[in-house]
Amino acid sequence: MPQSSFPAFRVLFSNDAILRRTHELVRCIEHDLRVAGAKEPPCLVAVIEGARPFARQVQKLLAGNLPVYEVRASSYGTGTVSSGKVALSGGAEIPARGRHVLLLEDIVDTGRTIKALQEHFLGQGALSCRAATMLSKPSRRVVQVPLDYVGFEIPDEFVIGFGMDLDGRYRELPDVVVYEQDVERAFQQAVAH
Ligand code: PRP
């Protein structure tokens, strides 16, 4: 979909910049695998929905056309108050035991999702469970988790695009942009006229 189909949100990272940075991350991942003398390729796990575009890029750039497994994680609690607990679903088929798992995320915010997934896969017998994320918001961190590969660190702004949504919208936007309600309203009014 062309960019003009969307409100003119402020671009934080263009699609080109994301792809270039993902390329650099993949080179780091491959370097680390060589140094570690890994005999087997990593077991790639995308945390859906948001991480799909990033995971597709990693898969494309990483040697071996490895499968990307998917797992869903959601915070739950009562009403609008998050309990801080993370529920995992799907991914029963992921062959984590005895493998080096590489989690692929679009964004790490509080860190709870990555922590829950690392505990889950290490508990299943993974040799290691590293994390690669396109974006990280360090100022929002509640639990400290080691992030092995970070595309960009960002301030605490509401970002959408390249997989990230607002109520299910804007995931297909090619760039990472900052959501602003005024910009969205102006666009909707212009389209309505
Ligand atoms: C986002 C993101 C991570 C999680 C990070 O998912 O994709 O999985 O939040 O947050 P945390 O560090 O605070 O745990 P989201 O819940 O928006 O679901 P989605 O990917 O399906 O949009």
Pairwise CA distance, residues 110 & 130, whole Å: 17
Tell me 126's DSSP state: -
Give, rounded to a whole angstrom, the gap between the first and last alpha carbons of the chain.
21
Which of 21-25, 34-38, 65-69, 94-98 comes out lowest in average pLDDT?
Answer: 34-38
- Residue of 149, 154, 165 whose CA lies nearest to 12: 154
- Mutational test site, ligand 1, from 47, 110, 115, max ligand atoms within 8 Å of CB: 47
Give me ligand 1 centre to Cα 93, in Å: 21
Q: Which residue has the tokens 């889950």?
A: 120
Q: Which pLDDT value is given to residue 31?
A: 95
Q: Which pLDDT value is given to residue 78?
A: 53
- Mutational test site, ligand 1, from 104, 108, 120, 170, max ligand atoms within 8 Å of CB: 108
Pairwise CA distance, residues 154 & 109, whole Å: 10
pLDDT at 6 over 80: yes
Confidence at 77, pLDDT banded by 50, 70, 90? low
Q: Which pLDDT value is given to residue 22?
A: 98
pLDDT at 79 over 60: no
Whether residue 6 contacts residue 184, with contact meaning beta carbons closer than 8 Å, is answered with: no
In this structure, the residues whose C-beta lies within 6 A of any atom of ligand 1 are 47, 49-51, 73-74, 105-113, 165
Average pLDDT of the residues in 63-75: 94
Q: Which pLDDT value is given to residue 129?
A: 96
Ordered structural domains, the chain, with CATH = 14-171 (3.40.50.2020)
Q: Which pLDDT value is given to residue 75?
A: 81
Pairwise CA distance, residues 133 & 117, whole Å: 13
pTM of the model: 0.94
* Mean of pLDDT over the chain: 93
Average pLDDT of the residues in 59-70: 96
pLDDT at 3 over 70: no
pLDDT at 135 over 80: yes
pLDDT at 81 over 80: no
Question: Considering 16, 32, 106, 109, which one is annotated as catalytic?
Answer: 109
Pairwise CA distance, residues 111 & 46, whole Å: 15
pLDDT at 101 over 60: yes
pLDDT at 80 over 80: no
What lies within 8 Å, CB to CB, of 54 at 6+ separation is: 18, 22, 46, 104, 105, 106, 133, 134, 151, 162, 163
Q: ∠189-192-193 over CA atoms, to 5°?
A: 95
Which residue intervals of the chain are DSSP H helices? 15-36, 52-61, 112-123, 181-192
